[in-house]
Amino acid sequence: MSVYLGIDTSNYTTSVCLYDSDSGRVISERKLLPVRTGELGLRQSDAVFHHVQQLPELFGRAFSAYSGEIQAVGVSDAPRTVEGSYMPCFTVGLTAARAIASAMHIPVYTFSHQQGHIAAALYSIDRLDLLTRPHIAFHVSGGTTEALLVNGSQGFLTTQLIAKTLDLNAGQLIDRVGVMLGLPFPCGKELEKLAVQCDEPMKPRATLKGIDCCLSGGENQAKKLKEQGRSDAYIARYTIEMILQTIRGMSMRIRELYGSLPFVYAGGVMSDAIIRDSLTAESDCLFSKPEFSSDNAAGIAVLASVKDTK
């Protein structure tokens, strides 16, 4: 067995994963950071504290199911693979990874949180071949709404930003509307449950500037709909539909520029069934399985295995 440990300490989830590169099996453990009711997130100091508290528990769970050796450790050390990308919460996972690697005399490999999302998506749909082939990857979450050209030049999972939000991220919009409706944070799953209860026809207009997007208008419109007495289900559906129209519009314009490259959709927002089913019905695209869409360490463990054998 060739087993690799992955660690990811993102802004809202502590994640640990063991990946057997021979069998493809993963042991994935994760735990959301606690956010008080009515609040829209955590201060970084609180996120760091909670990661420190939660990592030992997740290590215990993962290693209770596997007691053998590990070949290397992979860890996310920054949100994105660009200069200046930094959040204190990632130092918790990085410190743990370095300590484990030092004690076991094994290598430690660092990747961005975004690279982990892409790799997790590809692992979940059995398309790890795309780790070294050009494709378009959308990473849509609470902290990011971006489209990337992956492996456009030589290299291992190189990423070039080609489109982005100019204001709110899609996950931020979902959470702001969700909290307004009294839903627990993070609000994605509960907002989707509300949205599927509404079948009224609607087609919000996406706001695109070139291939970039703007999403802040969705929050303003949701507030107006609330003031007008629209049902929570209608407001939830409107919010999801606006994000759908936005991602659809960006995708169409990117296809015009980049041709027939495979499109991969990753990140927590892309686990929404309304968005996934609509886009899949219209074009040939690849979606991460829902359990690997939200923050997890599986992609980081997979990347460690590939890096270790290069």
pLDDT, tens digit (0-9, with 9 covering 90-100), for 3-14: 999 999 999 999
Q: What integer is the mean pLDDT of 106-128? A: 97
Q: Can you name the CATH fold of 3-125+293-309? A: Nucleotidyltransferase; domain 5 (3.30.420)
Q: What is the pLDDT of residues 193-204, one digit of tens each?
A: 999 999 999 989
Structure tokens at 180: 């307004």
Q: What is the pLDDT of residues 23-76, one digit of tens each?
A: 999 999 999 999 988 888 899 999 999 999 999 999 999 999 998 899 999 999
What is residue 150's predicted lDDT score, i.e. its pLDDT? 95
Q: What integer is the mean pLDDT of 266-271? A: 96
pLDDT at 155 over 70: no
Same fold, 3-125+293-309 and 133-287: yes
Cα separation of 90 and 111, whole Å? 11
Classify domain 133-287 by CATH number.
Answer: 3.30.420.40
pLDDT at 309 over 90: no
Which residues have a Cβ under 8 Å from the Cβ of 191 and sit 6 or more positions away? 174, 177, 178, 181, 183, 236, 239, 240
Query: What Cα–Cα distance (Å) separates residue 307 from each residue in 4, 135, 155, 250, 304?
Result: 11, 20, 12, 32, 5
DSSP 3-state of 211: coil
Report whether 253 contacts 216 (CB < 8 A).
no
Structure tokens at 58: 């997740």
Q: What integer is the mean pLDDT of 196-217? A: 95
Q: What is the pLDDT of residues 282-294, one digit of tens each?
A: 888 999 999 999 9
- Express the helix, strand and coil content of the chain in percent, nearest 5 each: 45, 20, 35
N- to C-terminal Cα distance for the chain? 18
Residue 100, CB half-sphere, CA atoms under 13 Å: how many?
A: 23
The dihedral built from the CA positions of residue 43, 48, 51 and 52, taken in this order, carries a sign that is: negative
Instruction: Give the residue from 8, 141, 158, 169 showing the smallest Cα distance to 74.
Output: 8
Report whether 157 contacts 110 (CB < 8 A).
no
Cα separation of 138 and 119, whole Å? 12
The dihedral built from the CA positions of residue 164, 166, 169 and 170, taken in this order, carries a sign that is: negative
DSSP class of 198: -
34 preceded by a cis bond (ω within 30 of 0): no
What is residue 283's predicted lDDT score, i.e. its pLDDT? 84
What is residue 26's predicted lDDT score, i.e. its pLDDT? 97
Residue ranges of domains in the chain: 3-125+293-309, 133-287
